Structure 1
Amino acid sequence: MPAFEVRTATVGPWPMNAYALVCPEQRVSALVDPGADPERLLALLEGTQPRLIILTHTHADHVGALAQMRTRLGVPLLAHAGPHHHDLKLELDRALADGDELALGAGRLRVYAAPGHCADQLCLRDLGGTSVLVGDTIFAGGPGRTWSPEGFQTTLRTLREVVLPWPDTTHCYPGHGPSFNLGAVRSQIVAFCERDHPADFFGHAAW
């Protein structure tokens, strides 16, 4: 199967990365995390037939333009079943769970549940290539911020059980900041997971 083309637009005041996954054979696409600026999101999809909107998670900066893009594109919305951030109510066309696979044109995506930063966090791995859209699970310099000690412990499990099993060739596309190769930061992630963190730790962290 072909590898997806990954297109990125940095949108919103924070800012965050919205993505388009494009099947190079059939020129169909999925819009991932429509955070803001509908016109820029439409430009991201130029030359393709949009088929899906997918959310990696439901923090406000990732869904700010969702209602507008649903209206303008008229395509199914896929996301974690919830509960969603701040009890956001979503009318999903399909709820996604760990291990699900999605067809998009001639390509396929594999869904990973990756809680910690957010309970409904998902990662989307291109089964025909090396790309993974990781949302706010992981960045080049550290994991996504956590909001409680329990959330931080969940993040550590996600790093050990979800992220580290991916091969070094995996190219991670995060919700903020630059993309990066997993192999370049693997040793730092391993050391971070093995560190003796305080039991009450949470918040921002760096490798």
Structure 2
Amino acid sequence: MLVRTCEVGPWPMNAYALVCPQTGVSALVDPGADPEHLLALLQGTQPVALILTHTHRDHIGALEEMRALLHVPLYAHPGPHANDLHLELDAHLHHDATLNIGEGQVRIYATPGHCADQVSLAVVGGEAILVGDTLFAGGPGRTWSARDFQTSLATLRTVVLPWPDTAHCYPGHGPSFRLGEVRPLIEQFLARQHPADFYGHAEW
């Protein structure tokens, strides 16, 4: 499975296309903004799906435009979605399920903390994992309550760290990285005593 990426929006945010090289079938992940750039990302492929890693506004800003342009099913976690957003989904993404994209597959991991409906998408038989805002090279995704931060810690321990060091993590913002490059930092982060009421931005 090939991974294409482009930065969109004012923040900016990483949009992705997963492309099956055998069939040319593709899925667009996180249509945050700039539909013309998203269409360029899909050039030469046959889009069959729109996928959301989560529903924060910067990741879905061009969703309606792309649904109208592509006429393909929308896949996302069943929710609850961010800011009480109501989405008309064509299919739900559940933990440990798989989704076919041409002759390739991605495995779904529920990775909540930054957002209740956050999922990560791992290419089956490959190294790429689209992690959304689950984690970045410099730290975990921002949390919005102490409970969310504790959820994020649990996600790191039980879901992220079991991935292999060779996992190539593609985040929602910033550069990609190998999990092995940051594993010692994550382990040190998890070993710290964090204040019970802590949440917000954090660094490894």
- 1:128 is displaced (CA, Å) by 2.0
Q: Which of 74, 85, 89 is the matching residue for 2:86? A: 89
Give the match for residue 26 of structure 2.
29
Q: Which of 49, 56, 60 is the matching residue for 1:59? A: 56
SS of match in other structure, 1:43: helix
Give the match for residue 10 of structure 1.
7
Give the match for residue 192 of structure 2.
195
The separation in 1 between residues aligned to 2:174 and 2:136, in whole angstroms, is 7
Q: Which of 31, 40, 50 is the matching residue for 2:47? A: 50
The separation in 1 between residues aligned to 2:150 and 2:181, in whole angstroms, is 24
Letter in 2 for 1:29: S
Q: Does 1:204 align with 2:201?
A: yes
Give the match for residue 39 of structure 1.
36
In the TM superposition, what are the counterparts of 1:161-180 in structure 2 within 5 Å?
161-180=158-177
SS of match in other structure, 2:54: coil
Letter in 2 for 1:86: N
Q: RMSD of the TM alignment (CA)? A: 0.4
Aligned identity (percent) is 68
Cα deviation, 1:23-52, whole Å, max 9, x if unaligned, reads: 011010000000000000000000100000
Q: Which of 97, 111, 116 is the matching residue for 1:114? A: 111
- 1:120 is displaced (CA, Å) by 0.3
Give the match for residue 70 of structure 2.
73
Give the match for residue 144 of structure 2.
147
SS of match in other structure, 2:16: strand
- 1:153 is displaced (CA, Å) by 0.3
The separation in 2 between residues aligned to 1:10 and 1:147, in whole angstroms, is 25
Cα deviation, 1:100-138, whole Å, max 9, x if unaligned, reads: 100111101000000000000000000121000000000
The separation in 2 between residues aligned to 1:87 and 1:13, in whole angstroms, is 24
SS of match in other structure, 1:154: helix
Q: Report the count of equivalent residues.
A: 204
Give the match for residue 132 of structure 1.
129
- 1:146 is displaced (CA, Å) by 0.3
- Please give the TM-score of this superposition, normalised by the length of structure 1: 0.98
The separation in 2 between residues aligned to 1:82 and 1:100, in whole angstroms, is 16
The separation in 1 between residues aligned to 2:12 and 2:195, in whole angstroms, is 31
The separation in 2 between residues aligned to 1:74 and 1:115, in whole angstroms, is 29
The separation in 2 between residues aligned to 1:8 and 1:122, in whole angstroms, is 18
The separation in 2 between residues aligned to 1:157 and 1:128, in whole angstroms, is 26
The separation in 2 between residues aligned to 1:33 and 1:110, in whole angstroms, is 17
